[in-house]
A = this chain, B = another copy of it.
Amino acid sequence: MAGTSNQSVGRAFRIVDELAENGGGSVSELADRLEMPVSTVHDYLQALVETGYVTVTDKEYQTTTRFLEVGHRQRHRLEVFKAVRDELETVAEETGEHATLMIEEADQAVILTVQEGPDAINLFAYPGARMPLHATAPGKAMLAHMADDRVDELIAQHGLVAVTSRTITDPEILFEQLEQIRRQGYAIDEGERIAGMVCIAAPILDKSDRIRGAICVCGPQSRIDESRRNEIADVAKRAANVTQVNLDYV
């Protein structure tokens, strides 16, 4: 296999991942979790501290705000991000639910921005959160506007992993839904990623019909009943449309 790439780089980021996941740790703790020799982990942590991406306070290693910085800079350069402007806020206000902007990256759906409704912090929704495309409304909205063979390829490569009991795992059903999404102009997910959650998402296309992202509204099933779905879908579609216009305008 890959005998090529740089081992040190891989290990450094494995450590970063671990730090991010479990919120810091000590040398031996990390060595334990990563199953690496203590002295090796120590060496890496020292190197990471030198880069400024990790700090150590009282033998506790932590990631620094450098990640925030790099992340925000990247986000500011993304055209979709600039194009939504405050449409998301409007969506959150109008629906009273969480509104998120999502894009596709590395075959996954990723949250770029979260605009909170009246609710508290949602553990599952934060900038950078990733999830399978087929298990979310925004993911399906984006799939619906990719070439069919690209979708086939994705299925072949990653499969249709079940995230909850309601996740779509049958390619045939998925394709049916994609067809429907194209007709309706929006996608819906009922507990396919998080049990009890309903998400409604509208795709953002550019002038050459390339999919650029999706605007998604999420809330508990109890609050998003049949009667509100059309209304929410309309709000999302409108916001997606405005974004699209801004996008082409840039």
Contacts and interface: CB of A to CB of B under 8 A. Distances in A.
A43 B6 contact: yes
B6 A47 contact: yes
Interface string A1-40: 0101111111011001100110110000000000000000
Interface in A59-99: 62-77
A157 interface: no
Contacts of A175: none
Given A12-B6, A105-B55, A128 B77 contact: no
A42 to B, nearest CB: 10
A48 interface: yes
B4 A8 contact: no
Contacts of A103: 65
Interface string A127-165: 111100000000000000000000000000000000000
Q: Chain A interface secondary structure, helix, strand, loop or mixed? A: helix
Interface residues of A, number: 53
B4 A72 contact: no
A50 interface: yes
A45 to B, nearest CB: 10
Contact of A128 (B16, B24, B71, B128): B71
Given A9-B12, A62-B74, 4 more contacts: A20-B69, A63-B71, A68-B112, A69-B127
